[in-house]
Structure 1
Amino acid sequence: MNPADHPAPTATAPAASTLAGPTPTATAPAASTLAGPTPTATAPAASTPAEQLTLRVLSALLREDVLGLRSRGTLEQRPDGPWLSDGSLALPVAPDGFQADHAARLPELEVDGARLTELTAVLALLAERADPLDRPGHLAFAEECRQTLATMELHDRVRPEVHAELAERYGKDVADWAGPRAALGFEALAAFLDHPVYPTARGRSGLSEAQLRSYAPEFHPSFELRWLAVPAGRLTVHGDGPLPAWWPSAEQLGVPGEFATVPVHPLTSDEDFTRIVPGAVLAPEPYLEVLPTLSMRTVAVAADPSCHLKLPLATATLGLRNRRTIKPVTLVNGAVGQRLVEAVAAREPRFAGRILHADEQHYAHAEDELLAVLLRRYPEGLDDAVSVPLAALLAEAPDGRLVIDHLADRFHHGSVPALYEELLRLLVDWQTTLFGHGIALESHQQNTSLVLDGTGLRLLYKDNDGPRVNTARAVRSPVRELAALVAEFRDPRILGEQDRALTDLFTTITGHLCTASLAFGLAAHGRVPLARSLELLRTVLGEAVDRLGPAGQPLRTDLLDAERLPVKAMVSAGSLLSKERSGAADINKHYTDGPNYLLSGDRS
């Protein structure tokens, strides 16, 4: 991108800093999770990071039937509780009910009568038994687990100090963390949580502890970006209007000549960019202080935190194949996704001012996934609002309470159930309305934020580059712009003429990740009884589906009344199996199935 009609920056940004500091010696309490209640057991619950990770991994392997126990095992009662056994393997289990019938009850696996309690031994056994074509994926997953355990142990050491410094910087009560800069504090809190589905989400492939401390969101560090000068005309640029005043020219970066400038994350700066664009020059000095968001590859500009830069990272999260680079097509799809959302919101008066979306129309790339940038601008008027990603609601605040407790105290007279209900009613109404127009968003808990202030609750969306669209519905929509917008998508996986891809995405994202995981998590923390929150969720979904009339029938059939629900099979598709072996066209939309927690009591 070229700077246009703006003053030159007057100073180099401050040197990098971090909240991590020295490693504290005290051990913090175990991190909470959005994944629902820990299965009950007669034995003590897992207490160490290794035991917690082993439980999560064994539960995921059971859910995706990697062990074969789900399909071949039978339930048997032993003196200590229920076990699933196939005669060779046996796993102590407990009822789950969220995305699986059972979850691991104890961090151990029995193999021919011998107990394996070390996760490395369990994974080595699975790799040995795997098809030779799948063995590299199993070995890679074992490395993911090793890195994740190291990160979890690091989290336990640093959490108290990070929390203390966040409180000092933004205030002791997180309900007062207003504005775009303070919103980054919530991203830091959320980074200590586990993912509702993927067991090794806190691990980041190939990064050292020093790199995590310097660049990962849970440390809330600041650092300076590197910049690449790209010969003029070698970038594909999209977006109108001038760049922000802080965007440097090549000359300001010490590179004279006709160049456009593109920010580069420090973790990617050692790439050979001349391979991508001959004549590209890496500026000699870093420039522009930024802070990481929860996604890590997206950073906020310290001096202008309503502006975020999404940059490629040569690492992976949520699976070996889930690389954090940026494919140019996703930039195109994200820009179209934003306009799609805004077109529907403009057509539905009840969502006026209540559904917000970040501006994602400005981007540049060089036809390579390691050389790209998205300039994301958040809406104006949020300086006095508290913006919290759904992923942070069950995070531990600096005072030890949950973030949602603080928000309920300030905005809902201390009632967590009231806050949950208001969130449900707006989010479900909005997502079912989109479904009526033939659209399902991959707006998971990281890409959906609550915005709270004196005007009430609003929802803020970003990064909608992977929707599913039923073109037959979209072209019939009263929103006339939809047909033309849909034609702009550049990923054939997005478009189809059936509803099943939409109901699957709606179920796994809006259902599991954004609403049900919160219900199970609130129950685990003793905030709202599970039966109460699930009944509310079913009621709100039913009312929203009824408002659609006949157009809502697929959601009623595939979600409300289905015996089984689709569940992401992220370990298999993301790590263990190649795409050829798993058959997954999209590793984030590859499914197994689980029980329907929404069924009425007489059917569940």
Structure 2
Amino acid sequence: MTTGTTTTPTTTTPTDTPLTDTDEADLLLRVLSALLREDVVGLRSRSTPVERPDGRWLRLAAGSDDALLLPVAEDGFQCETAARRPLLLRESDGAELATVDEILAALRALADPVDRDGFDAFAEECRQTLATMRLHTEVRDEVMARLTARYGADPAHWTGLAGGLAHDTLAAHHDHPVYPTARGRSGLGEDQLRAWAPEFHPRFALRWLALPRHALTLAEGATGLPGHWPTPADLGLPALDRTHLTLPVHPLTVGAPLREALREAGLEDGAHLAEQPYLEAIPTLSMRTVALTADPALHLKLPLATATLGLRNRRTIKPHTLVNGALGQRLLEAVTAREPRFQGRILHADESTYAHASHELLATLCRRYPAGLDDAVVIPLAALLSEAPGGRLVVDHLADRFYGGDPLTLLDACLTLLFDWQTTLFGYGIGLESHQQNISLVLDQDRGATRLRLLFKDNDGPRINAARLRDTLGTDAFDPGAFADPRILVDGDEPVADLFTTITVHLCAGAYAFGLARHGRAPLERLLGLVRDRLAEAVERLGGAPGGPGATLRARVLDAPRLPVKAMVTAGSLLSKERSGAADINKHYTHGPNYLLWAGGSR
């Protein structure tokens, strides 16, 4: 193994002479750190630690007469160490491997031959991400100027759901806390990104497809399609009004992907693509979901023939996920009805309206946000550490307006409510995949005092301990067997606790402790202590009965020597599902240190 005694992590990364291309240097540090965390080709388990004058290096034998040398720094967020400059060296000649292609080629040579195609695919993913990062650097000033002109100079005053779209744009310029190539989108070039990606805050008109009524499945029990929904006549197809319904199509899907989808669905003859676009939209952070400019509270989730967070993580919409999302919403409503302290504090988007034609590119979700948010700041967690116009962090702007200039007080308020809600769900046997993109802070003034609420969306991928849910909620309130995806229901608390750890703890709490420490807002131990204290308080409310939810979270999260960590590169790009064994590429884990123990005084 590469590490000995665990030590308190530092928040700085040693730097040597930087590469000329800062974007590539930053990307490679993230890529190497992710590969180290996931132990790709044995970077952790097969390496030998070597102490040098500038710090620790890992030596990985690359053949009978050569080795690779990786300099590392103490880290602690999901892995004991992270890569540092001067990046990867070849021992035989001291040559620095300092480009995407050089580094991945060297690691590919060490991989099992059956996995090498995955390294080639990941190398292409890195190249696309690097091109996108360079584009972001080039256009950043232009985008910030556009946002300032439209919404004002201070993001703490970008209010309502329309202002939330501007926060999405800031978040799109910020890197994912785990996945190193999150800014890349498979197969999209500069013109397509400028026209449709959230980091450019574009506006564009949707395309529409008229499909025979019998071919479309609408949500059971939904009140009907939104009022903005066009008829065929509205789209210049009056002859189809009695026989067809319309389905929105993202402009990126029009063309070969749409033709192939219609052929596979057997709808080539009955479908009609309207010539005229209809309804203007702005992309949200997820890109495939767009908000209507005329009604920002209505978001349409539209399938795309691209991928993010791994080449196997396609942005299509499988019809069963629409069913699962609507059921997930009903489940959360049932829990909230039994837990009155969350009413009005935990908000949910309505995801009960959808339509599909039994194909992953012929589907849409109509997501309706709660009313009454026009005067509130609605901001995804993913935007908090983003750089705002003028160069300050978004969290600092929000702290100035709502928390007397103290970002830790803001974080404290957020963690208190977040952990209370998520541990309560765990007590019912429920774990949500509610990561930074799926939770928004809702901040406003209520009778002169700051009010913080949390707004949730995208409830289609939970993990549920069916036995615990039946015991606590009862099948009369909700039957867990109604979900269409068998992976949702699990035996026991452990898979639910793993999801709770990797999403709620790592992405929605730990990432902010390490991030704020890195930006100098407070010492890391103080921030980790805040995370641990608020989580411990929430767990305490579940009680300590042996085998109960509180005891499980204490044993598997607060006091566990190591914690599960997402292995997203391995499952999403490098290995096939057969090789990785991942039933769900978003829930495939390795393990890392428990940084909560450092906060609790254990070293």
TM-score (norm 2): 0.92
Residue 108 of structure 1 contacts residue 118 of structure 1 at CA under 8 Å; is this kept in 2? Answer: no
Q: Of 222, 236, 255, which aligns to 1:254? A: 236
For residues 582 and 155 of structure 1, the distance between their equivalents in structure 2, rounded to whole angstroms, comes to 33
For residues 356 and 228 of structure 2, the distance between their equivalents in structure 1, rounded to whole angstroms, comes to 20
Residue 337 of structure 1 contacts residue 465 of structure 1 at CA under 8 Å; is this kept in 2? Answer: yes
State the SS of the aligned residue for 1:362.
strand
For residues 124 and 391 of structure 1, the distance between their equivalents in structure 2, rounded to whole angstroms, comes to 32
State the SS of the aligned residue for 2:310.
coil
Pair 1:513 & 2:507 matched: yes
State the SS of the aligned residue for 1:129.
coil
Q: Quick one: which amino acid aligns to residue 48 of structure 2?
A: T
| Pairing of 1:462-473 with structure 2 (within 5 A) | 462-473=457-468
Residue 221 of structure 1 contacts residue 292 of structure 1 at CA under 8 Å; is this kept in 2? Answer: yes
Residue 230 of structure 2 contacts residue 246 of structure 2 at CA under 8 Å; is this kept in 1? Answer: yes
Q: Which residue of 1 aligns with 2:64?
A: none
Q: Quick one: which amino acid aligns to residue 203 of structure 2?
A: S
| Pairing of 1:132-531 with structure 2 (within 5 A) | 132-238=113-219, 239-255=221-237, 256-257=239-240, 258-270=243-255, 271-272=258-259, 273-275=261-263, 276=265, 277-278=267-268, 279-455=270-446, 456-478=451-473, 481-484=476-479, 486-531=480-525
Task: Say which is worse superposed, 236-245 or 439-448, in terms of deviation.
Answer: 236-245
Q: Which residue of 2 aligns with 1:127?
A: 108
Task: Say which is worse superposed, 230-239 or 421-430, in terms of deviation.
Answer: 230-239
For residues 148 and 310 of structure 1, the distance between their equivalents in structure 2, rounded to whole angstroms, comes to 23
Q: What is the CA distance between 1:232 and its match in structure 2?
A: 1.5
Q: 1:366 to 1:289 in 2, by over 3 A?
A: same
Q: 1:42 to 1:396 in 2, by over 3 A?
A: closer
Residue 437 of structure 1 contacts residue 473 of structure 1 at CA under 8 Å; is this kept in 2? Answer: yes
Q: What is the CA distance between 1:479 and its match in structure 2?
A: 6.2
Q: What is the CA distance between 1:38 and its match in structure 2?
A: 6.5
| Pairing of 1:517-596 with structure 2 (within 5 A) | 517-549=511-543, 550=545, 551=548, 552-596=550-594
Q: Which residue of 1 aligns with 2:3?
A: none
Q: Which residue of 1 aligns with 2:4?
A: none
Q: Of 76, 79, 85, which aligns to 1:97? A: 76
Residue 347 of structure 1 contacts residue 479 of structure 1 at CA under 8 Å; is this kept in 2? Answer: no
Q: Quick one: which amino acid aligns to residue 92 of structure 1?
A: P
For residues 109 and 392 of structure 1, the distance between their equivalents in structure 2, rounded to whole angstroms, comes to 32
Q: Of 17, 25, 28, which aligns to 1:51? A: 25
State the SS of the aligned residue for 1:593.
strand
Q: 1:181 to 1:42 in 2, by over 3 A?
A: closer
Q: 1:141 to 1:37 in 2, by over 3 A?
A: farther
Q: Which residue of 2 aligns with 1:82?
A: 56
Q: Of 72, 81, 85, which aligns to 1:106? A: 85
State the SS of the aligned residue for 1:244.
coil
Q: What is the CA distance between 1:42 and its match in structure 2?
A: 5.2
Residue 316 of structure 2 contacts residue 360 of structure 2 at CA under 8 Å; is this kept in 1? Answer: yes
Q: What is the CA distance between 1:39 and its match in structure 2?
A: 4.5
Q: 1:477 to 1:489 in 2, by over 3 A?
A: same
State the SS of the aligned residue for 2:173.
coil
Q: What is the CA distance between 1:131 and its match in structure 2?
A: 1.9
For residues 44 and 353 of structure 1, the distance between their equivalents in structure 2, rounded to whole angstroms, comes to 52
Q: 1:451 to 1:82 in 2, by over 3 A?
A: same
Task: Say which is worse superposed, 510-519 or 110-119, in terms of deviation.
Answer: 110-119
Q: Quick one: which amino acid aligns to residue 140 of structure 1?
A: A
For residues 329 and 480 of structure 1, the distance between their equivalents in structure 2, rounded to whole angstroms, comes to 21
For residues 38 and 546 of structure 1, the distance between their equivalents in structure 2, rounded to whole angstroms, comes to 30
For residues 60 and 285 of structure 2, the distance between their equivalents in structure 1, rounded to whole angstroms, comes to 41
Residue 15 of structure 2 contacts residue 85 of structure 2 at CA under 8 Å; is this kept in 1? Answer: no
Residue 39 of structure 1 contacts residue 104 of structure 1 at CA under 8 Å; is this kept in 2? Answer: no
Unaligned runs of 5+ residues in structure 2 are 1-8, 62-66
Between the two structures, name the one with larger relative contact order (CA 8 Å, sep ≥ 6). Answer: 1
For residues 329 and 417 of structure 1, the distance between their equivalents in structure 2, rounded to whole angstroms, comes to 40
Residue 344 of structure 1 contacts residue 479 of structure 1 at CA under 8 Å; is this kept in 2? Answer: no
Q: What is the CA distance between 1:301 and its match in structure 2?
A: 0.4
Q: What is the CA distance between 1:530 and its match in structure 2?
A: 1.1
For residues 323 and 192 of structure 1, the distance between their equivalents in structure 2, rounded to whole angstroms, comes to 21
Give the ranges of 4+ consecutive aligned residues of structure 1 lying more than 3 Å apart after TM superposition: 36-39, 44-47, 478-483
Q: What is the CA distance between 1:317 and its match in structure 2?
A: 0.2
State the SS of the aligned residue for 1:367.
strand
Residue 12 of structure 2 contacts residue 518 of structure 2 at CA under 8 Å; is this kept in 1? Answer: no
Can you list the C-alpha shifts for 1:203-235, whole angstroms capped at 9, x where unaligned?
000001000000000000000111000012111
Can you list the C-alpha shifts for 1:319-344, whole angstroms capped at 9, x where unaligned?
01000000011111111111111111
Q: Quick one: which amino acid aligns to residue 190 of structure 1?
A: A
State the SS of the aligned residue for 1:75.
strand
Q: 1:38 to 1:149 in 2, by over 3 A?
A: farther
State the SS of the aligned residue for 1:430.
helix
For residues 412 and 471 of structure 2, the distance between their equivalents in structure 1, rounded to whole angstroms, comes to 32
For residues 107 and 290 of structure 1, the distance between their equivalents in structure 2, rounded to whole angstroms, comes to 44
Number of equivalent positions: 568
Can you list the C-alpha shifts for 1:420-464, whole angstroms capped at 9, x where unaligned?
100000000000000000000000000000000113000000001
For residues 522 and 432 of structure 2, the distance between their equivalents in structure 1, rounded to whole angstroms, comes to 27
State the SS of the aligned residue for 2:45.
helix
For residues 493 and 593 of structure 1, the distance between their equivalents in structure 2, rounded to whole angstroms, comes to 21
State the SS of the aligned residue for 1:268.
coil
Pair 1:60 & 2:34 matched: yes
Q: Quick one: which amino acid aligns to residue 240 of structure 1?
A: A
Q: 1:287 to 1:370 in 2, by over 3 A?
A: same
Task: Say which is worse superposed, 593-602 or 553-562, in terms of deviation.
Answer: 593-602
Unaligned runs of 5+ residues in structure 1 are 1-35
| Pairing of 1:5-20 with structure 2 (within 5 A) | none
Q: Which residue of 2 aligns with 1:72?
A: 46
Can you list the C-alpha shifts for 1:308-362, whole angstroms capped at 9, x where unaligned?
0000000000001000000011111111111111111121111110000000000
Q: 1:125 to 1:177 in 2, by over 3 A?
A: same
Q: What is the CA distance between 1:246 and its match in structure 2?
A: 2.1
Q: Quick one: which amino acid aligns to residue 178 of structure 2?
A: V
Can you list the C-alpha shifts for 1:242-285, whole angstroms capped at 9, x where unaligned?
43332110111122221110000000011214312241111111
Q: 1:531 to 1:584 in 2, by over 3 A?
A: same
TM-score (norm 1): 0.92
Q: What is the CA distance between 1:482 and its match in structure 2?
A: 4.7
Task: Say which is worse superposed, 277-286 or 209-218, in terms of deviation.
Answer: 277-286
Can you list the C-alpha shifts for 1:40-96, whole angstroms capped at 9, x where unaligned?
215256670010011111111111111412001122111222101134222000011
Q: Quick one: which amino acid aligns to residue 539 of structure 1?
A: D
The CA RMSD over aligned residues, in Å, is 1.5
Q: Quick one: which amino acid aligns to residue 327 of structure 1?
A: K
Residue 55 of structure 1 contacts residue 107 of structure 1 at CA under 8 Å; is this kept in 2? Answer: no
